Amino acid sequence: MKLDNNVKEAAVAMNRSIAAMLSRGAFLRSVGAAVAGAAGFGGLARPVRAEKTTAPAGVDVYPSQGFAALQAAVTAGGVVYVHDTWDLQNTELTIGLGNNDVEIVGVNALIQNCSISSQALVKMKLNNLVLTTNNWYCVDIVQSAGATITGCGIRCLDQSQWPIGIASYMWNGVTDVGQTDVRGTLLIENNIIDGIYGVYLFETKANVSISHNTIRNCNNGMSMVLPREGSLNIDGNDLKMIWASAVGSLLQVSDDLFPSTFSSALIANNQFDCGSCLFAVGCGRWNTQATPSIVVTKNDVHMDENDWGAFVLHKDCDDTVWANNRVTGKIKLGVCVATFDCPCPPYPRTHHAMNNVFKSNNFSGAVLDIADNGIGLIYPDAADYLFDLNADYNTVIGDAGEVIDFGIGNTITGSKTLKQHHEPVGGSASQAEELIQALKRMYGRRHGPS
């Protein structure tokens, strides 16, 4: 089953934003001074010198040998020890030119104006490096048979390029569909990442684990869009957002472009300091036969204000579990179970959200606030739980607080206050159009024209 063009546009809106950026050139010259030393990286210590007495044998490369020697060592494969401070001057270091597996290990290494790209089905590892970039990405895994990025500091310096710290994304000038091929295991662990997009993964086939990273100063902390296969584990990360469209984790699964067999997602034990954002964790499935197991549990979310909800389910998001999460600060909606085609019509809804379970989520430290935070009110009231039209047969175990319910058969085992309410989200044609226009203004202001 295919999505209509309007919905497809919404599904890949963020990709098109990046594509517009890429059309200006893959390698953008520096517009600011490169960071020199650890102090410029906001307090991140330079990596500790690798202990060569126990490390595997490999090739040592120094800045005096030049970029050609570094590229040759990476092409030859094996273990490459990169020493001291480099300036790649926006030249891409390419993994996979010789179809050889490679591990790049930093030895007191700072690599400035850096872009590292994996372009073949080989295994790659990056370890103990400090990387800075003025390009649209720092590390881009276009093709890989398995990738590990651990113990690195990654900083995107030119925020005007909407940069990505770690990406799996490719644009060939015509389409972004079918350009990436990431298989095996993708492990991103114990890194510090600064970028408007912290981690952005598109069309992966890998089992992905993103754990114990600090991702800061970001607009979208972690995004996983249209995975083809594999699974996702997001555990123990500390995310600090700065912009109103900040997303803690975004998971979208669809059969529109290709059949998906994506199996599961676990989002647990994370700290989301969201500031002013749309939502912290959002999950959606579009027109897919895949029924991934999705569990969101034991996350600690703080919001200064929000436009949708701390947790958002949309578009055919069924059979998920949200348990033991804690939310503090100001919220408009704690949980928003919304089934509308946002930001595109038609209304009424053609999607549903059914049989989801919400257990022992704690909103007691959050203040309900209906203030308009810049994109127009998605709903003219505040509540701990909002069940939209077609949000049916969901279960809240424990106290629910204040509830707005337009669905059928939703049950709550603990105490609740059913609020007086008006129309569902975008319930009338005028409300729908107002919402669409507001979201378009928001997207244009935060991302530029798509």
**pLDDT tens-digit map of 74-121:** 999 999 999 999 999 889 999 999 999 999 999 999 999 989 999 999
pLDDT for res 243: 59
Q: Residue 210's pLDDT is what?
A: 95
Report the C-alpha gap between 291 and 240 in whole angstroms: 31
Q: What are the E-state strand segments in 212-263?
A: 214-218, 220-225, 231-235, 238-241, 247-254
Specify the pLDDT at position 362: 94
Of 155-169, 281-295, 362-376, 380-394, the least confident = 362-376
Tally of structural domains, the chain: 1
DSSP E strand boundaries for 192-290 = 192-194, 197-202, 207-211, 214-218, 220-225, 231-235, 238-241, 247-254, 264-268, 271-286
Instruction: Write out pLDDT tens, residues 138-154.
Output: 999 999 999 999 999 99
Encoding tokens for residue 174?
Answer: 């015509």
The residues facing 321 across adjacent strands are: 295, 357
pLDDT level of residue 158 (50, 70, 90 thresholds): confident
pTM: 0.81
What is the distance between the alpha carbons of residues 315 and 32, in angstroms, rounded to a whole number? 42
Looking at the chain, the whole-number percentage of residues with pLDDT higher than 90 is 38
**What are the structure tokens assigned to 259, written together?**
């059949």
Res 136: pLDDT:
87
pLDDT of residue 115: 92
DSSP labels, 136-189:
SEEEEEEEESEEEEES-EEEE--GGG--EEEEE----SS--TT--EE-SEEEEE
What angle in degrees, to the nearest 10, is found between the helix axes of 429-447 and 13-22? 30
Domain that holds residue 443: 5-447
Contact 68, 62 (CB under 8 A): no
Span 223-247, average pLDDT: 79
Q: Is there a contact between 128 and 104 (Cβ–Cβ < 8 Å)?
A: no
Q: Are 82 and 93 in contact (CB under 8 A)?
A: no
- Name residue 242's amino acid: I
Sign of the Cα torsion 71, 73, 74, 80 reads negative
**What is the model's pLDDT at position 251?**
67
Helix/strand/coil for 16: helix
DSSP helix/strand/coil, 418: strand
Residue-wise pLDDT for 399-416, tens only, equals 889 898 888 899 999 888
**Dmax over Cα atoms in the chain, in whole Å?**
72
Rounded Cα distance, 332 and 305, in Å: 7
Q: Give residue 310's pLDDT.
A: 86
Q: Which residues of 207-234 are buried (b: 16+ CB within 10 A; e: fewer)?
A: bbbbbbbbbbbbbbbbbbbbbbbbbbbb
CA distance 338 to 405: 11
